Amino acid sequence: MSKLLCPVCDKDVSTSPFKAWKFRGYDVKRYECQNCKSKFNVYQNPKKTFTIPSHK
Ligand SMILES: [Zn+2]
Q: Tell me: the pLDDT tens digits for 2-49?
A: 689 999 999 999 999 999 999 999 999 999 999 999 999 999 999 999
Has residue 55 got a pLDDT over 90? no
Verdict on whether the full-model pTM lies above 0.85 = yes
The burial class, CB within 10 Å (0-12 / 13-18 / 19+), for 6 is buried
Ligand 1 centroid from CA 47, angstroms: 25
Q: Determine the Cα–Cα distance for residues 18 and 34; give it in Å rounded to an integer.
A: 12
Ligand 1 centroid from CA 40, angstroms: 9
Ligand 1 centroid from CA 15, angstroms: 11
Residue 15 CB contacts under 8 Å (≥ 6 apart), including other chains: 31, 32, 33, 34
